[in-house]
């Protein structure tokens, strides 16, 4: 039998899990007192839902689950699809399905908190695993900007607390709106079926630079005039949505778009919030405001989200406004681990080490002593004393134990 | 797109999740102060590990995960196995793999706490799902009876607290030892390759009765003499391991077996502990003491476990003594839900309902008010006031909200 985990997956050691649970505690506690309610969906989803184009690139990374029994035989005989379900690649599509299925029983609007594993068959590399945890907060059924503001307010509180613990400074939020990006692409002359490609390239700007964006768009066969007009919009140094949109002439987005961004900025007064017209966010399903958090010295964002008003309707036939924020949990864990951060121990941990010379008839008495110490607020583990006591104690110390009581024979 | 969950799986509503997390809180808190450390393994395991015969019946219920890309093409072309991994059907086999892989870095002995979903393609029925949560506590690396005693002590504390909350009385523990069962089968004349079948039938005794056991064994083709000799052992009214084993003549188990059971019973003095020679436990991997908890009025057990000293060696080549207890988490949830049990709310929940007549420029101020109330210890959710306010409030009440503050336009 094979003792290694499946390729690209990992076993989590007690010490690492303690850090993860510490972070989850901050996230859950902050989200719950702000009225987010936790829900859970199954790990597996209908294959149809996992390959509907909503998930973009992620859909090419799904793990499919084989049909079983007679259905599998039939599929093989008829050369049909061998799978009808797959592991979820995110928590947003399952949430939309969940709301379409169960929305009637939920408060309106519904503020959801989801924490759970997702699976993607990405090429494994340092810090990137094929199973990882996502933490999502979403507000479903609110079309007002209060949803954006509440989600941002709560996520910024969570991140502020984590950044403080980790001594990471410069937490900031960048905001934009998909409708501004659409207006910009339209203004530059991109047709409806070309906008997607233009935005995918624009999304890479922080990695490939503006020359890179220009070259990639030219390489995709777009006319130089279009490409220049598009790129110039972003290079003209517009600082506010108003300044940026003033360049767009007839292609102006709705006035509500600018109002929303102003209201978000105003509600977050005192925090570092900036308008970033080149912020795209990977997923194609966003329909309105989009946002992303980062901090000084980090090479990637630590949370991101936006409004997606057209997804739930794909399941229920009826659109429900939706706005969500996903916290980059694994990214935060990696940052804290790199910093050597260790969460404070909640209690003193004491090991009672029992020599094999002690008669087993004394075990009940030893357990009672241990329980007494627990009542006094300690973690107490009763363990047999091992031959290599020095190594036993060293391993316990590495796992947070600081008190050792040795019981020898009498 | 399809809004129902995958067949046999379920969405969990906030109210149900609250009960689940309440129970998990009791389990985690009790296990952690007793020195159990939480670990995590991936949802997927190597297919080879999931179909090695260790898992018995459960292996026929695994969900297999399809190979991907070139590997899948190759497998199809060569008519080879289409899968090389599967979702785990329990937490014990992954734990054995985990320990074989990571044991060097862990305290010795290692007291493990695992809480996570497992998957089995059982025929769905009321209360039985294809994804469900398991809670396992295991002690690895301790061959002394202290392991059994510590695991039982901790699980009994957890169950006592849950039974008290649920007003379920009569919590009790039944114990036996696989080596007594082997001795009994040997005494009756079952050959080495027949013992498994005899025990599988004996395991059904609580459902089919002694006549049922007799008939099933006869139906399997065993001689009437053998069958009678075997069944009579259990019907002779032996109350203690000593009385039971006194019947076995030459086939006596090792004296240590009886010592162990006596020590366990003694350490649990004051609790309802009884010897049950017909206790089998389903899994074939047990090698020593086995145990099961139940309570008055319940038609099935609520926790069970035992010693399995030969599993880790299958991964590492070196046997490591192991003893574990699995809490029937879903069973406990079902019992509490049937009783209409609701966990106490930790905090008052207040909804601030904001009319759309309120200018959005006031949102920052409203958020600040909400935060003030949170500092005072309340859950506070800021929500837009819906047109159907009565229904909105009713749904919030059903989700634990008891205070409502309405903000109308000014």
Q: Do B367 and A145 touch (CB under 8 A)?
A: no
Residue B56 has pLDDT above 90, yes or no: no
Note the pLDDT of residue A59: 92
CA-based nearest residue to B29, from B150, B113, B133, B149: B113
Nearest to B381 among A35, A354, A399 (CB): A35
Q: How many CA atoms lie within 13 A of A199 on its CB side?
A: 25
**Predicted complex ipTM:** 0.94
Long-range pairs for A392-397: beta carbons < 8 A, 24 or more residues apart: A392/A353, A392/B107, A392/B108, A393/A351, A395/B105, A395/B106, A395/B107, A395/B108, A396/A351, A396/B107
Q: Do A66 and B65 touch (CB under 8 A)?
A: yes
Note the pLDDT of residue B125: 87
Q: Do B1 and A314 touch (CB under 8 A)?
A: yes
DSSP-assigned beta bridge partners for residue B294: B172
In the predicted model, what is the mean pLDDT of chain B?
Answer: 95
Chain A residue numbers with beta carbons less than 8 Å from the beta carbon of B68 are 63, 121
Note the pLDDT of residue A396: 94
Residue B162 has pLDDT above 70, yes or no: yes
How many Å lie between the alpha carbon of B17 and the closest alpha carbon of chain A? 7
Q: How far is CA B392 from CA A102, A142, B15, B349, in A?
A: 16, 13, 17, 15
DSSP SS3 for B15 = helix
Note the pLDDT of residue B83: 96
How far is A26 from A159, CA to CA, in rounded Å?
9
What average pLDDT score do residues B6-25 get? Answer: 96
Residue A410 has pLDDT above 80, yes or no: no
Reported as a single tens digit per residue, the pLDDT across A284-300 is 899 999 999 999 988 88
What average pLDDT score do residues B182-198 get? Answer: 94
Q: Do A65 and B68 touch (CB under 8 A)?
A: no
Does B83 touch chain A if contact means CB atoms closer than 8 Å? yes
Can you give the pTM of this predicted structure?
0.95
How far is A110 from A140, CA to CA, in rounded Å?
5
Residue B371: closest C-alpha in chain A: A34
Residue B300 has pLDDT above 90, yes or no: no
Does B402 touch chain A if contact means CB atoms closer than 8 Å? no
Residue B410 has pLDDT above 80, yes or no: no
Nearest to B66 among A46, A83, A378 (CB): A83
Q: Do B131 and A43 touch (CB under 8 A)?
A: yes
Q: How many CA atoms lie within 13 A of A355 on its CB side?
A: 8
How many Å lie between the alpha carbon of B225 and the closest alpha carbon of chain A? 40
How far is B71 from B80, CA to CA, in rounded Å?
10
Does B389 touch chain A if contact means CB atoms closer than 8 Å? no
Element (H, E) at A147: helix A145-166
Residue B237 has pLDDT above 90, yes or no: no
Note the pLDDT of residue B327: 97
Nearest to B381 among A34, A356, A367 (CB): A34
Q: Do B65 and A87 touch (CB under 8 A)?
A: yes
What average pLDDT score do residues B168-176 get? Answer: 96
Does B364 touch chain A if contact means CB atoms closer than 8 Å? yes
Nearest to A380 among B34, B106, B108 (CB): B34
> Using 50, 70 and 90 to split pLDDT, how confident is the model at B126?
confident
Within 10 A of B307 (CB to CB), how many other CB atoms are there? 27
Q: What structural domains does chain B harbor?
A: 14-338 (3.30.930.10), 349-407 (no CATH)
DSSP annotation string for A246-315: HTTGGG---HHHHHHHHHHHHHTTTS-EEE-TT---S-TT--SEEEEEE-TT-SS-SEEEEE-TTSTHHH
DSSP annotation string for A62-129: PPEEE--HHHHHHHHHTT--SEEEEE-S-SHHHHHHHHHHHGGGS-SSEEEEEEEEEE--PPPBTTB-
CA-based nearest residue to A276, from A171, A208, A205: A205
Within 10 A of B152 (CB to CB), how many other CB atoms are there? 24
Q: Apex CA A121: angle with CA B50 and CA A42, to 5°?
A: 65
Q: Do A9 and B40 touch (CB under 8 A)?
A: no
Note the pLDDT of residue A245: 96
Percent share of chain B, pLDDT over 90: 88
Residue A163 · residue A41 · CB < 8 Å: no
DSSP 8-state assignment for residue B323: E
Does A68 touch chain B if contact means CB atoms closer than 8 Å? yes
Q: State the distance between the two ends of chain A, measured CA to CA, in whole angstroms.
A: 44
DSSP SS3 for A51 = coil
pLDDT higher at A339 or B38: B38
Percent share of chain A, pLDDT over 70: 100
Interface of B with A in 225-254 (CB under 8 A): none
């Amino acid at each position: 039998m094979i003792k290694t985990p499946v390729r690209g997956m990992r076993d989590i050691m007690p010490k690492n899990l303690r850090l993860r649970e510490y972070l989850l505690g901050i996230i859950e506690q902050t989200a719950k007192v702000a009225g987010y309610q936790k829900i859970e969906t199954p790990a597996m989803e209908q294959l149809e839902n996992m390959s509907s184009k909503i998930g973009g690139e992620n859909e090419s990374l799904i793990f499919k689950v084989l049909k079983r029994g007679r259905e599998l035989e039939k599929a093989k005989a008829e050369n049909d699809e061998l799978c009808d379900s797959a592991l979820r690649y995110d928590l947003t599509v399952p949430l939309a399905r969940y709301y379409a299925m169960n929305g009637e029983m939920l408060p309106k609007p519904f503020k959801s908190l989801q924490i759970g594993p997702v699976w993607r068959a990405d090429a494994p590399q340092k810090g990137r695993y094929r199973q990882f945890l996502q933490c999502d907060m979403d507000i479903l059924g609110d079309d007002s900007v209060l949803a954006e503001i509440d989600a941002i307010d709560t996520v910024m509180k969570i991140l502020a607390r984590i950044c403080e613990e980790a001594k990471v400074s410069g937490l900031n939020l960048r905001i934009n709106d998909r409708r501004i990006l659409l207006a910009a692409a339209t203004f530059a002359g991109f047709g409806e079926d070309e906008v997607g490609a233009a935005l995918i390239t624009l999304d890479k700007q922080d990695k490939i630079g503006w020359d890179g964006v220009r070259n990639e768009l030219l390489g995709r066969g777009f006319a130089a005039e279009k490409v220049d007009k598009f790129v110039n919009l972003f290079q003209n140094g517009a600082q506010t949505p108003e300044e940026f949109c003033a360049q767009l002439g007839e292609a102006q987005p709705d006035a509500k778009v600018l109002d929303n961004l102003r209201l978000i900025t105003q509600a977050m007064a005192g925090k570092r919030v900036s308008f970033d017209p080149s912020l795209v966010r990977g997923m194609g399903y966003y329909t309105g405001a989009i946002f992303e958090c980062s901090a000084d010295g980090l090479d990637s964002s630590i949370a991101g989200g936006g409004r997606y008003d057209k997804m739930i309707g794909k399941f229920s036939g009826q659109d429900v406004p939706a706005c969500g924020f996903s916290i980059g949990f694994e990214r935060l864990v990696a940052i804290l681990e790199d910093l050597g951060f260790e969460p404070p121990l909640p209690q003193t941990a004491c090991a009672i080490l029992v020599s094999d010379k002690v008669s087993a008839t004394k075990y009940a008495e030893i357990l009672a002593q241990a329980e007494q110490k627990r009542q006094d607020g300690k973690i107490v583990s009763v363990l047999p004393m091992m031959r290599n006591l020095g190594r036993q104690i060293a391993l316990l110390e590495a796992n947070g134990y600081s008190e050792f009581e040795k019981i020898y024979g009498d």
